[in-house]
Chain A
Amino acid sequence: MAEMLHSDPTPGPGRACLLALTLLLAGACSEERAEVAAIGSGLSLVETLGGADTVGYARADTARDFDFPRDHGPHPDFRTEWWYVTGNVSADDGRAYGFQFTIFRSALSPDAGEAESAWATNQAYMGHLALTDVEAERFRAEERFARGVPWLAGAEATPFRVYLEDWSLAAVDPGAGTAPFPMRLSGEIDGARLDLTMEAGKPLVLQGEQGLSQKGPEPGNASYYYAHTRMPTAGWLVVESDSVAVEGLAWLDREWSTSALSPGQVGWDWFALQLDDGWEMMVYQLRREDGSADALSDGVLIDPTGQRVPLEWGRDVEVTVTEEWASPVDGVLYPAGWRIRVPDRGWDLAVTPVIADQELRLAFRYWEGAVRVVGQGEAGVEVEGRGYVELTGYAEAGR
């Protein structure tokens, strides 16, 4: 999903993050959803922060010499940043699970306040953790917020560690020095615990122009962006005190920016698909207020060696909705089945959610869920796969 920011000024989860933090500041939280709607004044701040108020922050205005492992860590001068992991794993007996683990970092102001207190920080963190239990048809999702103080939340490059209370994504061996991999993801959510270890798999991919993902015509209206699109993952899930050994694939998106919201756009549909033949596909479609797809929608294919194959929107790739699903909250319709084609290369994939209800009903409401893929892949060869889809801008509370 992060890739869409490559060419569009609307920050994806970044917007979610800011919005949620705003609501939180305004006294709302996941538990006081009623208040969320009540506090409309908070939204104007989103516009303020998201729009003009980029003064004082660092901007993604030039190509960057990425410096790893340092860039695995936080970039507090930028307003928004995230570590976004999604993946599909399954047990020996075939039970399948999807998970989403996201930690957003947000600078609430350009500078930290000047006080001796360690609480004097402008850094805030928001976490989303979701687990899809396919067989049990159960979806769990939770959010957390915390200030960037060492005992609550933070991010460090060396040794690599991003955490929010007991949710963490960290190098397995802190003594190993530079490499974040193998990387351990752990967290607890509503009676389930995730403890997964991820290898790098393919080398990281710099998205956009050498990692500078331009979003608008103006210089600086862009983000820095890289991804690990196929991370072999193994570990344990403890679901209702039932320990399950699982393995599968995960996908990491890393992005930081000080971007501006764009008027006219209401949301996006984002696809990250991992196919059995070693290819990955990332496609997103930005939706405008009138329901049309924005011209800045885009896509990319990654070949088994990790090379990027950019797709040109409107010519190379075609997305059709085949199915819809109504949210039990208010009947809002989400797309719930797709046909995605790249005709020139013979791709024709049917994408289906593993379960219908994977809506995150949090301060920021959206649908993000595990999907199954069947169809023809590179050169029209029959292929299967798994992936994640994110749908935003459908539900009221998410706007």
Chain B
Amino acid sequence: MTPTGPSIALIDVDKSYAEGGRTHAVLTGASLTIAPGERVAVLGPSGSGKSTLLNLVSGIDLPDAGTVRVDDIDLGGLDERSRTQFRRDRVGFVFQFFNLIPTLTVRENLALPLELKGEDPGDRIGELLAQVGLADRADSFPDRLSGGEQQRVAVARALVHRPGLILADEPTGNLDVDTGGVVVDLLERLVADAGATLVVVTHSASLAERMDRTVRVDRGQLVST
């Protein structure tokens, strides 16, 4: 499949947070370009701004200065509602914890992004669940699943509405090596099938190795390696 994922460009981005009365600068003049369909791993110590990068790329947060562009869209130029709309249509998220809505079943969790987008699920959910090997758990609530199963559902949910951009925040951080491997396999395969652009924040060198490129967050800068 030809790549359909967007390109991403961060240009001279500054971002800081107020914490207990002090300002903590996370990114300072950071720039990064990601090609369409590229798979990038983001590495860096805790608190270095890895998650901030994901928040900026998804439009959850806005930079204090600089530009974040996804394809031709300048996220800074969108209002809150449009950014939410952007996420809804074009971004799939996989987090370390708390991926799923506990009050919805596995099937419903997968249906939610489609419903938000106004799409008819059709056979999509069933197919995806089969692909992640959980077809028989469709009607279970998330708390009945093991951590690995939950993450597999999370991967499926991130892709269910066919977003061009998949953002994953330590998707295996909470899992043992074997289980984590299964989840990463799945993520890789599905992203590849969709031709999506993938940004993974991780501590795992082995996971990073499997990506096209690795970006390191270092003292507020983004350094490709």
Do A's and B's CB atoms come within 8 Å in the complex? no
Taking Cβ atoms with an 8 Å cutoff, the residues of A that contact B are none
> Interface on B for A, CB 8 Å cutoff?
none
